[in-house]
Structure 1
């Protein structure tokens, strides 16, 4: 068995950490802590499961199946489904949600210094400059920014750990006396799990995880089993670090309720915490580093989007896809962070269960020899309840119609865990078990020497 050296393990672990942790990952665990209050720890555990363990499982699924990304992993469901799922994921990671969010997250960290009337104008100017620079640097397919990211990401993390250190020495108060919102009194772990969808890291792992697998294989590790073991070890190292950061951020959010009201989003909350511990200078430095870090993330997203779509649709140029992505991202960014989050939630409630179903099938594919029937049963029974979960989480303009309410009332009565936003769970498991049963039944029924 070929093994990585300790230095190589650290290199791959730092690559994974850099790919998955950015400024955007700060805001959701902080907001989670504010929402969960005294139940912050249970909620954070749920958040960590969906925010770190599922992305790690996605990387392992790519290694086990030797897939070249989303399309390859979803290929057993047919080319049309694989292409459709790839487009949906890239639109979510690209111009619809994740890429516009890279501009609105750092803006939210200093937006309170503008009056409410001035905030839309300030966001317009800020996002125009932000995406103008993103477009300019991405023309060379992002290569210019590699060194910048390597220098600035450690600086950003350094500032983050200074805030953590001061907060541990001088906590804002005890979490046991902070109030939890109604959802987090009823089901803190499930709601924490659903909040973890907002990191988008499971989708990102499917889209860009092949980069990590390729990096491991560049160290002359060719066997699938060796690659999976190396990936499991390095992924565990990096995601453990991310999980610890999430825990501290959730704790900061919960304790901040002693000084601040529940914020509209985690960007505002984290800016308030930074100001509390480091004053205006610390808040300004945080916003500056977050801007540069998010810009680096945005460049990675728009480059990957343009490259992948140009590969699938070669008649359309890389530059055309890049222009489209940056232009639409700029427009959507100006709706504001809160609006982006509210509209991304139903999409993620639909896409994440499908991604989890694919990851489960990919991880266990050797058990059933990658039989497409297992994939089809699992995903087919996941789609409808996931779609209903998405509708239930949608803004009122979509789910308050009489037709939508009748469907949701029916689902609430007959679909287990629907009221918790997990209606897909029992259906997905049932589909997986049915698929396995059919595979092994067909296998046992075939004459000796034939395969399923």
Structure 2
């Protein structure tokens, strides 16, 4: 049955779908770790984290709504078909089998199982756990039509119930005051910018672009067929779903800051979460946290593999949806067994390259009605952003690679000529300059046309 607009109930279901897709592995561990790093500056760092981890994904969904795109490819298409296809592949490779999807298995394993096994046993433990994990992900994702019911009505409420229990105990009996926690050197004077960059690690800005087609498909299955109403439903549900993510982020960051009164600065947020859970609930807390992490990471994995398979099947229709699903789940299983530390170490430089391109693309999508989606504006802005983003990627490579003389020369050049490069924003000034230049060129084109007609 076709409906003209989404009801309140339907909006909540789609919002729950968006929430379940976005909140996954990195969303549990990175906010807590940020709280420990920022200490008493946790509120300032939170504002930066929420900007890139919450506002940016919402902007991505709005950009898809405004441009009436079905996802990454359509949104990037004004830059040309080859650029759109390459960008689509890079985003889905990052969110798919290379980094984000394998991480959905390694994070709950590191939190709930690894501490109880020896180093030798962990190799086999991760192998068995990740095999079961991705087998279930494939099984649940095999039928696209059931995604709304499965995530929205079953898994999300269970996850929220488990997470609320830990938050409740922490607020009743806090570990300490977040306002008196120690601050690490990097967050003493650059808490906002470092918090913003930490938000990259969640990959939610990229994921929101990738989930566009899944969200639109789910909305259509609810009987909403008109393009305008689909756009409005996406925007409305996106705001509700991402607002829920923001509230949980703030609670997790606060937990990380207060934990410094009881625990030392940990290597990652997973260790801290395990310590907090054990402090309040003992062994039962360990079991609850392991269950919580597995559920939320599995919902996130389902969203990632479905978006990957839908987008690639759309671009390459001769290969079936299920074939792409098998490929993604199989490769994710293999890369997961490299371990969480390796996944995080190599994902950071890739994110430093892709996020600036994604941010400019989202902003261009939001502003597109102002310049009538002129391809020239897209191409000038993207061109100005591309090169400094590449240098930001080089600067984020693992420490061992920085010893290369060529790399040192390139980084010295960037430090001298790229504003904000040392803060991780070498692309920012160039991207803004490209946008302004593109808008000027568009305005000049508009003035020349009437003159040509009058002649």
Q: TM-score of the superposition, structure 1-length normalised? A: 0.93
What is residue 346 of structure 1 aligned with on the other side? 349
* Residues 2-13 of structure 1: pairs in structure 2 closer than 5 A: 4-13=6-15
What is residue 250 of structure 1 aligned with on the other side? 253
Moved more, 288-297 or 276-285: 288-297
What is residue 106 of structure 1 aligned with on the other side? 108
| Alpha-carbon distance, 1:238 to partner | 2.5
2:242 to 239, 242, 249: 239
Please say if 1:134 is aligned against 2:120: no
1:222 to 223, 226, 229: 226
Moved more, 33-42 or 5-14: 5-14
Whole-Å separation in 1 of the counterparts to 2:356 and 2:38 = 23
Whether the aligned pair in 2 keeps the contact of 1:264 and 1:338 (CA below 8 Å) is no
Whole-Å separation in 2 of the counterparts to 1:179 and 1:233 = 39
Please say if 1:332 is aligned against 2:351: no
**2:371 aligned counterpart, secondary structure:** coil
Moved more, 294-303 or 352-361: 294-303
1:297 to 293, 300, 315: 300
| Alpha-carbon distance, 1:261 to partner | 1.6
Whole-Å separation in 2 of the counterparts to 1:132 and 1:64 = 37
Whole-Å separation in 1 of the counterparts to 2:199 and 2:446 = 39
Q: 1:52 to 1:306 in 2, by over 3 A?
A: same
What is residue 78 of structure 1 aligned with on the other side? 80
Whole-Å separation in 1 of the counterparts to 2:218 and 2:334 = 35
What is residue 287 of structure 1 aligned with on the other side? 290
Whole-Å separation in 1 of the counterparts to 2:420 and 2:225 = 43
| Alpha-carbon distance, 1:120 to partner | 2.5
1:267 to 260, 267, 270: 270
Whether the aligned pair in 2 keeps the contact of 1:391 and 1:398 (CA below 8 Å) is no
Moved more, 139-148 or 420-429: 139-148
Whole-Å separation in 2 of the counterparts to 1:82 and 1:288 = 38
What is residue 62 of structure 2 aligned with on the other side? 60
What is residue 381 of structure 1 aligned with on the other side? 384
Moved more, 192-201 or 279-288: 279-288
What is residue 93 of structure 1 aligned with on the other side? 95
Whether the aligned pair in 1 keeps the contact of 2:36 and 2:260 (CA below 8 Å) is yes
Please say if 1:47 is aligned against 2:49: yes
**1:262 aligned counterpart, secondary structure:** coil
| Alpha-carbon distance, 1:146 to partner | 4.5
Q: 1:385 to 1:363 in 2, by over 3 A?
A: same
Deviations 1:172-213 (A, max 9, x none): 011233222221113011010111111111111111124434
2:176 to 145, 158, 173: 173
Runs of 5+ unmatched residues, structure 2:
none
| Alpha-carbon distance, 1:15 to partner | 2.9
Whole-Å separation in 1 of the counterparts to 2:223 and 2:84 = 30
2:366 to 341, 363, 367: 363
* Residues 409-448 of structure 1: pairs in structure 2 closer than 5 A: 409-447=412-450
Q: 1:321 to 1:398 in 2, by over 3 A?
A: farther
How many residue pairs get matched? 448
RMSD of aligned Cα (Å): 2.3
Q: 1:237 to 1:134 in 2, by over 3 A?
A: closer
Q: 1:139 to 1:235 in 2, by over 3 A?
A: closer
Moved more, 285-294 or 79-88: 285-294
Whether the aligned pair in 2 keeps the contact of 1:145 and 1:296 (CA below 8 Å) is no
Whole-Å separation in 2 of the counterparts to 1:369 and 1:219 = 30
What is residue 312 of structure 2 aligned with on the other side? 309
Deviations 1:431-450 (A, max 9, x none): 00000000001111112697
| Alpha-carbon distance, 1:308 to partner | 2.3
